[in-house]
Amino acid sequence: MKYDVEAYWPITRRCFVGCYYCPVPERQRRSPTKILASPAQWLEALDKTEKVWHLIISGGEPFLYPYFEEFIQTISFNHVVTIETSLRRPVDKFLRRLSTANIPMINASLHPEVNSDNDRFAYRVRRLRRAGFTVLPSVIMTPSILKRYDDLVDSMMDRNVFPVPRIMYGSAGGKEYPGAYTEEEREKITSYITEATTYYKSYYWGEEKPTIWPFLGIDHWFDDYYGSLCLAGSKFLRIEPDGFVYPCHESQPTLGSIFDPDFELMDEPTRCEVTFNCRDFCRRYSALPGRFEEVVE
């Protein structure tokens, strides 16, 4: 999977799952998606940069984006696409229009706390896999899921689906996670990640692992990258639904709209001034003090 620049792209805020830890305000999750440009216009804007992009398409729920299949089909002509979805929507049209070309991964998030239809989720995972797509199902390790993860895995394995444990980043019961995990809970999560790593070893992309890597140990979630050199803005960006591009987080000054005639990426690393830890992206594009050579190689 070769690309020049990577971008996290929540194409819509719209979502009906209703996770209590979701950082997107409910008003935005319930609002209709505004269409800023046609799929062809988005493709033209990406191509204008003369870069091959790896676009991590997220949301909200990206399958709720109007004409989603046409959108993915168009931008994947020249660029690489990973999709993050809850698989709450049918995949029939997706399978009719899309092939596995330039779509190396679909990250499917199971939400048993707000949606008990695990059969339908597993059915869609299996259909996508039969069509040749690499689908990695996962579940956020909220306090309640952590207590019943073993039973959940047993239940989903009966449906030939193994949900990978993902670290929770948010609030629950007045506590902030992942910092609120107890030592015992961290040990449990570590053992679960080890088990999932063994199960999914055939999914590894050789030495080049995907940026969003749920098999990463929990201790890495507490790394502090503030003040370190970072390639955000040049090798990694965040594209908002309105077309504006940020080095990594929307709290930063924007680089402008990707539709601006003079839009350009940054050309050198800068010091991180963002207190929000982007976790997977910080791990790949930033460096702890004294380790920047690992990033620029």
> Which CATH number goes with the domain that contains 210?
3.20.20.70
Can you give the residue range of the structural domain that contains 17?
Answer: 5-222+232-268
pLDDT of residue 237: 95
Residue 297 lies in a domain: no
Q: What global pTM score does this model have?
A: 0.92
Total number of domains in the chain? 1
Q: What is the mean pLDDT of each run of 10 residues along the chain (297 residues)?
A: 92 88 81 92 98 96 95 96 95 95 93 86 96 95 95 94 92 90 95 92 67 80 83 94 89 92 93 76 73 45
pLDDT of residue 290: 45
pLDDT of residue 195: 94
Owner of token pair 């539709």: 259
Residues in a beta bridge with 256: 245
Residue 296 lies in a domain: no
Residue 280 lies in a domain: no
Q: What contacts 120, CB < 8 A, 6 or more positions away?
A: none
Residue 278 lies in a domain: no
pLDDT of residue 43: 98
DSSP states of the chain as a string? ---SEEEEEE------S--TT-SS-HHHHHSPPP--S-HHHHHHHHHHTT--EEEEEESS-GGGSTTHHHHHHHHTTTSEEEEEE---S--HHHHHH--STT--EEEEEE-TTT---HHHHHHHHHHHHHTT--EEEEEE--HHHHHTHHHHHHHHHTTT--PEEE---EEETTEEETTT--HHHHHHHHHHHHHHHHHTGGG--TT---SS-TTS-GGGGG---TTSEE-BTTTEEEE-TTSEEESS-TTSPP-EETTSTT-----S-EE----S--THHHHHHB--TT-THHHH-
Residue 163 lies in a domain: yes
Residue 98 lies in a domain: yes
Residue 123 lies in a domain: yes
Residue 125 lies in a domain: yes
